[in-house]
Amino acid sequence: MKFIPDFLPVTSEQSPTAETPSGDSSARYLYFSVPDNTPPDVVQVGNAVRLNLVLGSKQDALLLSPAALRGTDAFSYVIVLEDAYHRRVEVVTIGVKTVDQWEVIANLKPGDQVLGP
């Protein structure tokens, strides 16, 4: 795999979108161009490429494994270790989710230790 800088969309037009059962929308394809100085053997017509698209970013986001969260879809919380004998429960709101990390919005301070799986 090779990183190609400045691999950017040609237009903001995209294929028709499809809606998933969860209400998310997905595009079948986007139009991209390869920079002019890219050697022809790097990206050949017809070959699949892997794109990592950053749709947004957030400073100081707390990302946790979904296994560290307790509760249900309606009510989520984490267990914070105060010391060897004391723990507290913090109710959390879930932000952006990926397969292996979820953004947690809670009343936590730097240095708090969350009980994991």
Task: Read off the tokens for 67.
Answer: 């296994």
- 2 and 41 fall within a common domain: yes
What is the number of structural domains in the chain?
2
The one-digit pLDDT tens for each residue of the chain (117 residues) are: 555 565 655 555 555 666 666 666 666 666 677 777 777 777 777 777 777 777 677 788 888 888 889 988 788 899 999 988 999 898 888 888 888 888 888 888 888 888 887
Q: Same domain, yes or no, for 47 and 2?
A: yes
Q: 76-81 and 70-71: which strand pairing?
A: antiparallel
Instruction: Let me know whether 71 and 47 are in one domain.
Output: no
pTM exceeding the 0.85 threshold for the entire prediction: no
Do residues 15 and 34 both lie within one domain? yes
39 and 79 share one domain: no
Q: Are 18 and 28 in contact (CB under 8 A)?
A: yes
Any domain includes 58: no
